[in-house]
Amino acid sequence: DAAVTQKPRYLIKMKGQEAEMKCIPEKGHTAVFWYQQKQSKELKFLIYFQNQQPLDQIDMVKERFSAVCPSSSLCSLGIRTCEAEDSALYLCSSSRGDQDTQYFGPGTRLLVL
Amino acid sequence: GEQVEQLPSSLIVQEGASVLINCSYTDSASVYFPWYKQEPGKRLQFIIDIRSNMERKQNQRLTLLFDKKTKHLSLHITATQPGDSAIYFCSANMNTGGLSGKLTFGEGTQVTVIS
């Protein structure tokens, strides 16, 4: 199976601008996750999709992010209004089920100026 | 919610020596514990996992021990090589009946193998 793909690899936005990043999960994987990682520290869970439906997300995502999986082969994560604190590596992962091994993409590194 | 603590935060080891990374979690509902390795510029790589019905799992030079009673895991890497230099992350996944498969991560352990 093809590895998880993420685009773009790098994204630079000004404060207040909108940002969008995409993820192509591994073929056959029905669970998709987004995580945020700052300065190579622990990954912070953002949102979880199962069969393209969002089942779990943190408050920050509900308030300022937009995330969809319009098809089993494409998901996107957007930030409506970028803030400096959003500068981070955004990682997408996918798995066959909610308690199966998650495989990660290379990430999108967002810098907000 | 679940919290995962990982120690040490960093360590330096001579090539060929062994490494021990400790991890503890707080929520007894956690049932699945995958570990990942992150090298600079590379994607997070799955290296080994264990489920709560097991006590030990080995994958080549990696041995993962799990103590359900104390909510503690330890990853042992033997015969280290320069390619083992990376940040290692412990994570925990709770059984939520399918409502969420999110992983809660520890802060990572930076392992540096010197020749």
Which tens digit of pLDDT belongs to each residue from A63-93?
Answer: 999 999 998 899 999 999 999 999 999 999 9
Closest among B71, B76, B73 to B111, alpha carbons compared: B76
Closest among A76, A92, A83 to A111, alpha carbons compared: A83
pLDDT tier, A98 (very low <50, low <70, confident <90, very high otherwise): confident
Average pLDDT, stretch B41-63?
96
Q: Tell me what pLDDT residue A1 has.
A: 52
Contact A105 B96 (CB under 8 A): no
Q: Give the whole-number percent of chain A exceeding pLDDT 90.
A: 90
Q: Does A107 touch chain B (CB under 8 A)?
A: yes
Residue among A44, A95, A104 whose CB faces B44 most closely: A104
Q: Give the whole-number percent of chain A exceeding pLDDT 70.
A: 98
Which H or E run includes B5?
Answer: strand B4-7
Digit-coded pLDDT (tens) for A28-54: 999 999 999 999 898 999 999 999 999
B107, pLDDT greater than 90: yes
Residue of chain A nearest B99, judged by CA positions: A55
Residue among A33, A48, A104 whose CB faces B43 most closely: A104
